[in-house]
Chains A and B, each alone.
Chain A
Amino acid sequence: MIAALIGLPLLGATVLLLGGRRTNAWGHFLAVAMSAASFLLGAFLFLQMAGKSEEEREVGQHLFDWISVGAFQVPFGLHLDQLSIVFVLLITGVGTLIHIYSIGYMEHDPNRRRFFAYLNLFVAAMLLLVLADNYFLLYVGWEGVGLASYLLISFYQQKPTAAAAGKKAFIVNRVGDVGLSLAIMLMFVTFGTVTFEGVNAAAESGSSSAITWIGLALLLAACGKSAQFPLQSWLLDAMEGPTPVSALIHAATMVTAGVYLIVRAHAIFDLSETARTAVVIVGAITLLLGAFIGTAKDDIKKGLAGSTMSQIGYMILAAGLGPVGYVFAIFHLLTHGMFKAGLFLGAGSVMHGMHDDVNMRHYGALRTMMKITYATFGLGFLAIIGVPPFAGFWSKDEIIYVAFSQSMVIGLATLIGAGVTAFYMTRMMAMTFFGEARWEDDVHPHESPAIMTIPMIVLAFGSVFGGMAMLFVGDIEHWLEPVTGFAKPEHSVSHSVLIPITLAVVVGGALFAWLRYGRRPVPVTAPTDVRFLTRAARADAYGDALNEAVFMRPGQYLTRSLIWFDSKAVDGLVSGLAAATGGLSARARRLQNGYVRSYALTMLGGAVLIALVLLLVRL
């Protein structure tokens, strides 16, 4: 049953990729059906699990023995528990909605079939990632989603920027993969096993240095996949992909895999204060960095991408706080998955009506032209900035609360982040839906068809009720507790003090943005005489410039010098030696003229020589 969750979308991808043009006409329907079937199966398994007592909820499925070399024993096994099932619902639920949306969005694309094949492939790989029962199999899903991400970012392959962006995402993620590889090797060397069960059971007997290094290696992996500092630079470029891809992969699911990894490996992080601290620092830096970048973007998708980095920073930070934070990291991941997917689909709907223009300076006053998009985007906006009782309020408030319980500095970082979030999101709302119309005459903004707006409406419901439903109906804290552990923080600022403060900061950020972008006219071209901070934010805080200076240019220099060295020094030396030792080159020239007979003669001479030597040895 568990394997079928993965098998259905995998089958869809295989049929569409191998079937070729024959499947063009109905391929997208098959893809939607496979994703939806996987969702229904997931929902069934969820209800089944919910009906069981707490101890019986975890189920496994051993498919076959995958690898067995000496002590390196890895099963091809799946594992469904309270943590993985919520991911299954998120991936297949949001995934199916985005499949449906894409029917409309990709309607006129000549490569629509391939697009849907890749989407199905992504869903299958992501499900494998969250259902694997060991780190090595998780790695296959981990790289599988990376592949799907690569294929979909560079989906418009004729565009050089898209091709470059896909490659960049893959390569930066490979740096993270080094971390995952090393973590698995360390687990194998330390515990002799790489299964979740085995590592969890053995973790306490591992040396503290080994545990810390495993934790740090896992953090490196998470930084790559979840676009956390210092491996964040690929996510903004990843917006080159079609917008549904940005919604599904680069907002709701794949980029949150790092959070899953850390929470899944909680047995390691529980034991290492150092590793947890590193996680918190990375999360705090990224949440501020992402929000900062988001404040200056005119490209609606890049603004949302900065926001995604920032929101995942919140999750990573929460995960780094240990048992007090794991469940809230996942809680925020789930609410974010709904409202951010909604926001991205909204952005896609706006682009759809604006000739694929992504520059918000060319928008304005769209609320009357696109009523449904405006309403759903607006609800997502209320959810992300954390207005009660919308989804983001519940999850983000808990993270801020727990952060303050651990450290004042970290608490303040989350609080400032909330204010900046309100600023850039309000700026986005104002520039897109309010103010005066700034588009050209030949653009005719219009609402998207129902096949696109219905998924947006469904996700908007999630933005409104998702948080409350999970907290009060699903009781997410206790649902996840058997897997991740859960502890109430000992002391913190009380909720009754913190909530008003947080709301005041949020309203302040929003008001500031409204005064600057809602009340004043927005210039159609971005002003250039701006302060350093704005320039820095526009340049993604110089992340690319840094990569280029530290890795790319020295790397190119090294490669060029090595090529020179190889042809001049290594090859030259050997050729020189050959020439020096008795006219080999002269003989070579003769042979090149075709006198292979003389070579045969040489060989014969060699054979005679061998025979002679052997005879001498005998004597």
Chain B
Amino acid sequence: MLLTTLMLIPLIGSLVVFMLPAAKPTLAKQVALGFGVATLVGSVLMVIGLENSSGGLQHVESYDWIPAFGISWTLGVDGISASLIVMAAILVPVVIVAGWWDAENARRGTVKGFFALILALEVLIIGVFSANDLFLFYVFFEAMLFPIYFLIGRFGGPQRAYAAMKFLLYSLVGGLFMLASLIGLYVVSGRELGTGTFDFETLTTLNMDPATQKMLFLGFFFAFAVKAPMVPFHTWLPDATAEATPGTSTLLVGVLDKVGTFGMLHFLLPIFPEASKFYAPAIIVLAVISIFYGALLAIGQTDVMRLVAFTSISHFGFIVLGIFVMTSQGLSGSSFYMVNHGFSTGALFLVMGYLVSRRGSKRIADFGGVQKVAPILTGVFLISGLSGLALPGMSSFISEFLVLAGTYAVNPIAAIIATFGIVLAAVYILWLYQRMMTGVPSKEVEETVTEISRRELVAIAPVLAIIIALGFVPQVALNVINPAVEQVQTYVGVTDPEAAVVVEGSGS
């Protein structure tokens, strides 16, 4: 019941906010924030209640939904999905506070509608990460598109309609492939077990022949690769983030896109172990291409929001890389990377949003010299940026290094090439910083850009604090993640390679 209850909090919140009178926008915001915080508290309690000794699903609840087709309302979390839910639950109140005036500024739609949509999205986020019936997962996966579609299409920038539709079409096409594979999987399970099922844990026990695995794998992988997004299925993302409000981008890139990589890790590897191993080398190549492609395009962007979107494409390359090398460092690194990336990219989107809303332009060339007029905002920008380039001492460094070390153990060439990605990360962040923040401010910048407000600081400070804290005590998260990763390795039937030299008493 715990997870369903957790979903009910933002659901009720969303309905309450929606039914408030439109004439009281501030009340809508306050109520939305209250429910966001309540959901956060609930999700923290949920993760505290996890047994770290077990890597399997916990807080499991299962009710028949459409028994005729073996569809059930099955929820459950492991350490990976639980940490993603907490990450999302932290970001929702942050986004509410940071986007306090975004709905008014859009001059379209109602304020209460904006905040009701954010809470509705949170319901579906919890659902998609905890669904362990694949049909249920598919429903959440597709339903998530609606709130985002409206958040972009109604509250976004001038090109919002095009961007929202592109996002929707890409996701729907990906979803169709997944649906085809899903039905195929159902058929196979029916053939093997007598009755078809969508239950995740049952599906992991299937003995599918490799050829079937490979076919079904591709449908899911395509949907996840569009969502993640990986090159060459990525072009919807920069368009979407360029038009969405910063808060929407934070939730879209920081949380929703993780469903793609989470799906690879949580569903693809356990259900299709042989196919995963078969496709791994090709996917590793694709991941390394994503790392560099995203980074190089980020360097060349002239629009700040698009730039951040491309850095994320590079980061998703790292996440996918860690998943498909299938070592414990790679898998834990990728899981931790998903959490860190949510905070890190969220911080970047929010701080860019602060700047863009002041200057009224997303063009990098319209900035310059901000350090002079807004030193604290500049500091916030710098910390967010350093997290984006995975500076040692920040949480993103730990996860990136774990991915690389986990990769080196099985595929040194990919690891060596990927490591050079850290140079490009320094280029895209520091060059951006140089262009926007240093130098002498122009007249326009001096007139429009003001220091960070207390509300904006309150919204982003917890995110920055978490980024730094997790850099020094990453084990808080890794202790939750590691058992789940071991479970995934058991499903796939892989173990870590041994070190070439084993020394007694070394390490700790």
Contacts and interface: CB of A to CB of B under 8 A. Distances in A.
- Chains A and B come from one and the same complex: yes
B508 A75 contact: yes
Interface stretch (B4-12, B77-85, B114-122, B495-503): B495-503
Interface stretch (B18-26, B206-214, B261-269, B437-445): B437-445
Contacts of B329: 69-70, 72
Given A66-B474, A191-B501, A559 B439 contact: no
A192 B379 CA distance: 38
15 contacts: A68-B482, A71-B328, A167-B434, A189-B499, A190-B501, A191-B499, A191-B501, A193-B507, A559-B300, A560-B300, A563-B297, A563-B300, A617-B187, A618-B68, A618-B196
Contacts of A166: 430
Interface in B459-508: 472-475, 478, 482, 485, 496-503, 505-508
A562 B293 contact: yes
B299 interface: yes
A547 to B, nearest CB: 13
A66 B402 CA distance: 13
A577 to B, nearest CB: 9
Given A614-B69, A617-B183, A191 B393 contact: no
Given A185-B415, A558-B296, A592 B162 contact: yes
Interface in B158-173: 161-162, 165, 168-170
B291 to A, nearest CB: 13
Given A181-B422, A185-B415, A202-B501, 18 more contacts: A20-B376, A67-B475, A69-B328, A69-B333, A71-B328, A71-B499, A150-B430, A158-B439, A160-B439, A167-B430, A188-B499, A190-B501, A193-B503, A559-B299, A570-B235, A592-B165, A617-B186, A618-B68
Interface string A569-603: 01100100010000010001001100000010000
A171 B332 contact: no
Interface in B404-423: 404-405, 408-409, 412, 415-416, 419-420, 422-423
Of B68, B169, B405, B408, the most chain A CB neighbours within 10 A belong to: B405
B422 A167 contact: no
B426 interface: yes
Given A67-B478, A170-B430, A207-B500, A157 B297 contact: no
B55 to A, nearest CB: 13
Interface string A112-155: 00000000000000000000000010011011100100100010
A154 B430 CA distance: 11
A181 B419 contact: yes
A106 interface: no
A610 interface: yes
A47 B243 CA distance: 64
Interface string A62-88: 101111111111011000000000000
A182 interface: yes
A178 interface: yes
A157 B371 contact: yes
A578 B166 CA distance: 10
A136 B401 CA distance: 10
Contacts of A174: 422-423, 425-426
Interface string A181-199: 1101110111111010110
A177 B422 contact: yes
A566 B296 CA distance: 11
Nearest to B379: A17
A188 B405 contact: yes
A202 B426 contact: no
A170 to B, nearest CB: 6
Contact of A193 (B376, B401, B506): B506
A11 interface: no
Contacts of B474: 66-67
A143 B415 CA distance: 20
Instruction: Output the residue of B69, B369, B422, B500 with the most chain A CB within 10 A.
Output: B500
B423 A184 contact: no
Given A67-B398, A144-B392, A171 B502 contact: no
Given A193-B507, A195-B506, A578-B169, A157 B161 contact: no
A192 B165 contact: no
B360 interface: no
A192 B501 contact: yes
B392 A205 contact: no
A613 interface: yes
Contacts of A189: 405, 408-409, 412, 497, 499-500
B234 to A, nearest CB: 8
B421 to A, nearest CB: 9
9 smallest beta-carbon distances between A and B, as pairs: A192-B499, A70-B328, A198-B506, A163-B438, A143-B392, A559-B300, A592-B161, A571-B235, A185-B408
